[in-house]
Chains A and B, each alone.
Chain A
Amino acid sequence: MAGALGLNGLIALFVSAILFTIGVIGVLLRRNAIIVFMCIELMLNAANLSLVAFSRMHGIEGQIFVFFVMAVAAAEAAVGLAIIIAIFRHYEVVDLDRFRLLKW
C-alpha cells in the first residue's frame, strides 16, 4: 500500500511541476490580464499540490501551509481583480502590453 501511495506521491510531484510550468507558459505567453491571472492561480494550485504531497512525509505542517496559501490567494484574487477593474475603467482594455504605468 505504501508503495502504491509512494508512486502516487511521485506522480503528484510531477503533476505539480507540469501544472506549474503550464502556469508559467500562460503567464509569459498570454497578454490578456485575466488569463494571466488565472495562470497565476494555477501556479499557486500546483504549489499546493506539491505541499500536500510533501506533507505525507513531513507531517501536517504542509497542509497548514496550504491553508495559508489559499487565504493569501483569496486576498490576492480580490485585490488583483479590483486592480484589473480599475485599469479597465481607464484603458478599456486588459492587454498587459498596454500597462506601462509601473514607473514614475
Chain B
Amino acid sequence: MSLGAVAAAGPGALSAGAAALAGQEGAAGGFQPVLPWLILALPLLGAAVNGVGAFLWRDDKRIPTIVGPAALLGSFAVVLANFIAMSGADLHGAEVVGLWNWIVSGDLRIGVDLQFDQLSMLMCMIVTGVGSLIHIYSVGYMRDDPGYSRYFSYLNLFVFFMLVLVLGASFPLMFVGWEGVGLCSYLLIGFWYENRDYANAGKKAFIMNRIGDAGFLVAMFLVFMAFGTLDFIPVLAAAEGTLAYGGALVTGITLLLFLGCTGKSAQIPLHTWLPDAMAGPTPVSALIHAATMVTAGVYLIARTSVLFALSPVAQGVVAAVGAGTALFAASIAIRQYDIKKVLAYSTISQLGYMFLAVGVGAFTAGVFHLMTHAFFKALLFLGAGAVIHAVHHAWAHGDGRGDGGYEDAHGDPNDMRNHGGLRKFMPRTFVFMWIATLAIAGVPPLAGFFSKDEIIWYSGAYGYPILWGVALATALLTAVYMARLMVMTFHGANRTFGHGGGAEAGRKLHEVPAVMWAPLAVLAVLSVVGGWANIPEALPLLPTFEWLHHWLEPVFAPAIAVKEAHGFAPEYRAPVGGGAGARAVISAAIAIAAVGGAVGVLSPPPGPPAVEAVAPTGFARVLHDKWYVDELYDRAIVRPSLALWRACWRIVDAGLIDGAVNGAGRAARLLGWAGGQLQTGRVTTYLVAFMLGALLVLGVLS
C-alpha cells in the first residue's frame, strides 16, 4: 500500500535533478516552501555578526543580545510558516529545494538541496522553537560572561548546522551538518577553555564522535557503491529493489550508520563523552546535549528508515543497544550527585528509549519521544541551570571572603549536596522542574507518558519481551532518579551555606530573572501538552488522537510496508497480557508509584553538603563511578594507544624519520664540503678542470 507513495516520488526523483523534482512535486503536492533559504541564512548571519562582534565589540552586550535570539526567532517564524503551509497541503513524498550544485563529478551530483517533508519540518520546529527559548534564556544565564558575543556566535552557528543536518537532502549534506554540530559542540563544551578539564572534555567529545563519523562515512561510500547516488529520495525509493532483504550489504550500511548514531547520540559504547560534555554552559547542555544534536542519530535512522527496515539484524542491534543503554544510563543516574550529570545520564537513557523505538520499527514513536524529550529535558536542564545560577551568585556575591571565595571552599554549585530546600527561594523554578520531572517520569497526562508508553508498548507488540521488560524497568528507574534529583535540590533544609546557614541562604538565594524563567514557563506548557499530539486510539481523550502518527505517515509508510511485507506487524505479545488500554495502566502505575515512593523514601533528603560527604560503598560506588567504563577505556584503549604512539615517536619519528632527515642534511653538507674542495681558488685547478671539460665535449663530438 505504501509503495504508492514511493512510486509517486520515485521516477521523478530518480531521473530528474533536484530542481526539476521540486517543480514536479510542487505541482502534485500543492506545497511550496516559503523562503526556504532564509531558515538557514538567519542563524548563519547571526553567527557571523556575533562572531565579528566577539572581536570588535567584546564588551558591548547589546548587539549579541538582540542579534542572537532574533536570528533564531526569525528562523522559527519562517519554519512555522512552512509548517502551516505543509499542514494545509496534501504532501506525499518530499519537496526538494535545490540551492546550488556542490559536487559534480562524473555521474555523481551532490547539490546543496533542502528536503522539506513532514519529518524535517517537525525537526525544524523543535530545533528553532526550543532553540529560540534557549537563546532567550541564555541572555540571562550568560549575562556576566566575558565571552558573551562568542557564545551567541557559536550557538547560532550550531543552529545553522543543525538545520543543515535536518534539511539536507543527501547523505553528504547531512554529514556536513553532522560534522558542523559536532564542531559547535566541541567549541561550546570547551567554551571556558581556560579550564583544562573543560577543554579536555571538548576534545573527548570530538574524538569519540569521530569514531562514529568514520562509520557514517563508510556507510555513505557503501550507499554510493550500491545506488550510484547519495540523495535520500532516490536511494530510499530504490532501496527495496536494489538491496536484498536482510542481505549483508544493507546490514553493513545500516550498522555503520548506527555506529555514527552511537557516537552522535551517546549510545553504548560511545556514550562516555556526553556526561563530560556537561562542562559547557548549561543552556548549551540543554540545546545541544539534550534537545537537538544528540537526537541526530535518531533522526538519521528515521530518515533512512527504509534501509533499516530491510535489515532485521541491524534493527535488532539498534533496539538492543538502545534498551541496554537506557537501563545502563538510568542505573548510573541514580547515584550521581552533580545535577547536570544526572540529567546527562537521563538524556542518554531517554535516547536509548528512542533507539529502542526506531529499532523495533516504531519510527513514529521514536520521533514522538524525541519531540517530547526535547521539551521536558530542555526544561530540566534550564531549570538546573537556574539552580546553578542562583547558587553560584549566592556564593559569588561577596560575603567578606572575596569573590568566589566561598565557592572555592564549598566546591561545586552543580553538586546537589550543596542545594536543598530551594523550593522556598525559587518557587517558579520549583514548579516548572516538577512538571518536567513528572513528564519524564511518565505520569499521565503529561508529555512523557504518551511517548514513552508508546515505545514500551511497541517493543512488546513487535515481539521483544525482554526489551519490553528492560523498558519498563528503565521507566521505574527514571522516576526514581528524577524524584531523587527533585528531593535533593528543592526539598528539605538548605545546605548551600553549610549547616545552619539558613539565614545567609535567605539573604543570598534568589529566583532567577524573568528572561530566564519565562522560557521555562513556555517549555513547561509544552511538557504538559506536547504528548497530546499523539494520543493513542485507545485513549480517546481528545479529538486529535494519533495526529503525529498521521502527520509522519507519508515519511514512514515505505519502511512500515517493508516490515509488514516480511511479517513484522505490531501485535501485542507482552508477557503481561492485555490490550492497548492495559499497557497504559501498567506504565502509568509504575511511574506514579516510583515517583511517590522515591519522594517518600528520600525526603527529608539525607546527607551533608558535598565537602562533608563520605564516598559511597559497594554497588552504589560502582554506579557512582559509572560502571568504570571510562577506566576500562583508559586501560584497554587509551593507554595501549599511548604506548604505541610513544613507541612510534621514539623509534619511527625520532629514529627513522629524524635520522633520515638529519642524514639527508649531513649528506648535503658532505656533498657541499666535497664541492667546496674542488673550489680551490687556484687557477691551475680551474685550468685542468676546464681542459678536461673541453676534452669531454670534443670526445662527445668525435
Contact = CB atoms under 8 A, between A and B. Distances in A.
A27 B691 contact: yes
Interface string B682-699: 111011100100000000
A31 B684 CA distance: 8
Interface in B107-129: none
A56 B52 CA distance: 84
A31 to B, nearest CB: 8
B241 interface: no
B694 to A, nearest CB: 9
B691 A103 contact: no
A97 B691 contact: no
Interface string A71-104: 0000000000000000000000000110111110
Contacts of B688: 28
Interface residues of A, number: 13
A96 B681 CA distance: 11
Interface string A44-63: 00000000000000000000
Interface in A11-52: 24, 27-28, 31, 33, 36
A96 B684 contact: yes
B681 to A, nearest CB: 4
Nearest to A96: B683
Interface string B655-699: 000000000000000000000000111111011100100000000
A24 B693 CA distance: 13
A23 B688 CA distance: 13
Max chain A C-beta neighbours (<10 A), residue from B682, B686, B691? B682
Max chain B C-beta neighbours (<10 A), residue from A24, A28, A103? A103
B691 A102 contact: no
A96 B686 CA distance: 11
A103 B683 contact: no
B378 to A, nearest CB: 76
Max chain A C-beta neighbours (<10 A), residue from B679, B680, B687, B688? B687
Contacts of A101: 681
B687 A97 contact: no
Max chain A C-beta neighbours (<10 A), residue from B681, B683, B687? B683
B681 A24 contact: no
Contacts of A103: 679-681
A103 B684 CA distance: 13
A102 B687 contact: no
A36 B691 CA distance: 13
B682 A100 contact: yes
Contacts of B682: 96-97, 99-100, 102
Contacts of A24: 691
A3 B680 CA distance: 51
Contacts of A36: 687
20 contacts: A24-B691, A27-B687, A27-B691, A28-B687, A28-B688, A28-B691, A33-B683, A36-B687, A96-B683, A96-B684, A96-B687, A97-B684, A100-B681, A101-B681, A102-B681, A102-B682, A102-B683, A102-B686, A103-B680, A103-B681
Interface of B: 679-684, 686-688, 691
Which A-B residue pairs are the 3 nearest by beta carbons?
Answer: A103-B681, A99-B683, A100-B681
Given A102-B682, A102-B683, A103-B680, 13 more contacts: A24-B691, A27-B687, A28-B687, A31-B684, A96-B682, A96-B683, A97-B684, A99-B682, A100-B680, A100-B681, A100-B682, A101-B681, A102-B681
